[in-house]
Structure formats: C-alpha cells, structure tokens
Amino acid sequence: MSSTSSLAGKKLVLNTLLETDHYESLIKELTCKKCNKYMRPPIHLCVDGHSLCGKCFEKSFQCHVCQKEFASIRPVALESLANKILFPCTNKGCPKHSVLSQLDIHNTHCQFRIINCFMSRVYGECKWKGCAGDWMDHCFQEHCDKVTDLPFITVKNKWDAKRTEPVLNYFLLRCYEKVFNVYQIYDKRGGRMMWTVLVNDENAEKYYFEIDIFLPNLPSKRITYRRPCKCEKDADFLEHTQNVYIPVENVFSMLDEDEQINFIVRIGEVENLPLFNAPTASESMILLQDEDHGVAKQE
C-alpha cells in the first residue's frame, strides 16, 4: 500500500470516528454545563464531582448543579484529555476538528462564521449578514464599485471636508489567489492621508502595493508610493511605519477641478520587481563633475 493511500485511509478512519455518537458524548463531557463552551484547563470540580470551566468557576460561589461547595482537587485526567481531544468548530456547517489551541486560531478566520458586511462599517448602508465565505460573492453583487478581480483599482473620489469617520474608503482586490483589503484613512489630527493593504497571509511582505495619485489633465503632477503589504493578523497595522502617509496639503494640491482625488491602487509580487543598481562613488563624482562643467564627459 502506498503512503498516499495509507494516509487517506487514516483520514477516513478519523473522520468516521469523529462522527460517532461515542465521540459526541465525549465532547459533551468536556463541555461546561453552565456556559455550554468547551472546557480547557483549569477545570474545577464540586465535592460531588460536577465539572466547571475556569471562567465560570471565577464567577461562582457554589456548584450550579447541586449548589454544593467546590472541591480543592483538580481533575488531572480530564484536563489532560481536554488538551488532546479534537473539538469540532462551533460554527454551523464547518467540518473542522482540532485541539483547542488550534481551534482558537481557526475560529478567527472560519469561513462558516456569521459576520456583518464590513462595507456597512465604512459606508453605513448595507444590512447583509451571513457566512464569511459568502461575503465576497455578496460584495461583487451589491458593492461592485468597491471590488475587483484585477490587481489594481482606479478611484475618483470627491473630497468631503465635513466627513468625520477616519476610514474614507475600503476596497477589495481579489488577485494572486488572495483577497487584499485596501484602506484609505484620513488622520485629521496628524494632518495626513494614509493608505494600507492587508492580506490573509503570514508572508504578506512577498506582496507590495502602490498608491499612484495623479491629475488626469496634468501628467507632470503625480505622486507615487510603494510599500509592502501586511498580514491581517497584524493588530497594530494602523501604527505601522510601512504604510503610505501623505501630508494632507499635498493631497489637496492634487485635487482636480471638481475637487476630486484620482488615484490607482496596484498590487504586485515583490519577486517580480527589478533591482535598482545605485551608481558607485566614482560614477557619482563623474556625474557631478559633468554637471558642474555643463558638458558631458568625453573620452
């Protein structure tokens, strides 16, 4: 038997085991009867042996089942089992089973979790609620001007001086088999405009984004910045020095006759970028000397 078929057989056996009534009853024994959540160490017992998770124990004075006091001993075997068993994801329809530490990570990005449309937090007009995995399809149907399957998006946006929300725009670019989240933020206190791009990839810096601000009828005026993308799990991404920051007066200078800002957001792969070779010290001196004499150096 090949290693591939052997692995497939083990997965089949495991999946069959996870679906048995015996395994479900084991999960129930490791579920707190008070909060109905999976128990993880520390697990506590009352004098009659009823179990309780650590968070509920901290809020309780007596057992919620028999109203008796708590025991001073801990169920070591039960805690050991809680660290090893594969718990099912609590989101309806999700087939994922994992140990609790990995399940916590999974739950953050589970495609079966119920979410509200993030567009409503920025634009305040969408009432959609559903599975995270269906959200992109919803955006392409209802927010087609904010999403694209291309590695770039061109924006023409009216400047509104009265707007108080910090997030001015939010876009989704689905490319390179990833979804890139583009934020345009107005830092009124700091007097600057900021752009940043997040992607659900631990190696987010293998992608870059460009902000290209331009005036359609004046090609000599243009502002272009390039920065690495950042991972969605980067909690302090708004404070990150690798975001694009532009003083707001510079942005104002790029407003067109309709007081609109025109910009393009581009996504690319870093490995495809050419390297720039800086001139050597001697070459720099030659260039300076040529400039001083006002003529090109001749051999």
pLDDT along the chain (299 residues), means of 10: 52 55 82 92 93 93 93 91 90 92 89 93 90 94 94 90 82 94 90 91 93 93 94 73 89 92 96 85 72 50
Looking at residue 3, what is its pLDDT?
53
Looking at residue 210, what is its pLDDT?
96
Looking at residue 35, what is its pLDDT?
93
Looking at residue 283, what is its pLDDT?
73
Looking at residue 52, what is its pLDDT?
92
Looking at residue 235, what is its pLDDT?
67
pTM: 0.73
Looking at residue 19, what is its pLDDT?
62
Looking at residue 189, what is its pLDDT?
84
With tokens 């909060």, the residue in question is 35
Looking at residue 296, what is its pLDDT?
47
Long-range pairs, 250-259, Cβ under 8 A, ≥24: 250/223, 251/193, 251/213, 252/159, 253/221, 254/213, 254/214, 254/215, 254/221, 254/223, 255/159, 256/215, 256/216, 256/217, 258/158, 259/158, 259/159
For residue 263, what is the enclosing H or E element?
strand 260-269
Looking at residue 182, what is its pLDDT?
95
d(CA 73, CA 47): 9
Looking at residue 234, what is its pLDDT?
76
* Main-chain phi, psi angles of 156, to 5 degrees: -125, 105
Burial of 205 (0-12, 13-18, 19+ CB in 10 A): middle
Looking at residue 268, what is its pLDDT?
96
